[in-house]
Amino acid sequence: MALHFAKRITEYRLAKDLFTRGKDIILSPEAQVMKNFTQHGETTVFEHCIAVAKYSLLIAYSLERIFKIDVDKDSLVRGALLHDYFLYDWHVKGQAHGLHGFTHPRVARDNASRDFTLNEIEKDIIGKHMFPLTPFLPSYRESVIVSLADKWCAIAETFKIDVSSYIIYRVNFRIALANGDYSIDYGETLAEA
Q: What is the mean pLDDT of the chain?
A: 88
Geometric angle at alpha carbon 51, from 134 and 118, rounded to 5°: 60
CA pair distance 44, 114, nearest whole angstrom: 22
Statement: residue 37 has pLDDT above 50: yes
Statement: residue 190 has pLDDT above 90: no
Q: pLDDT value at position 181?
A: 83
Q: pLDDT value at position 44?
A: 94
Contact 160, 41 (CB under 8 A): yes
Q: What is the pTM of this model?
A: 0.87
Residue type (1 letter), 44: T
pLDDT digits (tens, 9 = 90+) for 137-167: 999 999 999 999 999 999 999 999 998 898 8
Q: pLDDT value at position 136?
A: 86
Residue type (1 letter), 71: V
Q: pLDDT value at position 189?
A: 53
CA pair distance 85, 5, nearest whole angstrom: 33
C-alpha dihedral sign at 185, 20, 169, 42? positive
